[in-house]
Amino acid sequence: MKTLISNIDVTSVNGQYRFYQYNDGNPLPQIELFKIENNKEVMMKNVLGEVKKLNEEFLFKIDFHPKNRKHPLNTREFSDKFIKSYQEI
């Protein structure tokens, strides 16, 4: 069972996005991403791709594939870093 931790609204040049973070027993929160269109939430199927675009737009320079790691960040890690960076501005 998952429990809602928080939701974060992000205003982008491409529109309004809403992140939902859930606790599902994993150390990192589960992420669901929606784009707000005509006051309706439309679920984004490619969360990682959208977060990469937002990362570039906001110039956070979060490194998706850090040199000190064998594998790139997963969707939860990358989204969590983006959300923390966004909340700091």
Residue 69 binned pLDDT confidence (cut-offs 50, 70, 90): confident
Residue 79 pLDDT greater than 90, yes or no: yes
What is the C-alpha to C-alpha distance for residues 3 and 21, in angstroms, rounded to an integer? Answer: 9
pTM value is 0.88
Long-range contacts made by residues 55-59, C-beta under 8 angstroms, separation at least 24? Answer: 55/82, 57/12, 57/13, 57/14, 58/85, 58/86, 58/89
In one letter, which amino acid is 38?
A: N
pLDDT in tens, 14-57: 999 999 999 999 999 999 999 999 999 999 999 999 999 999 99
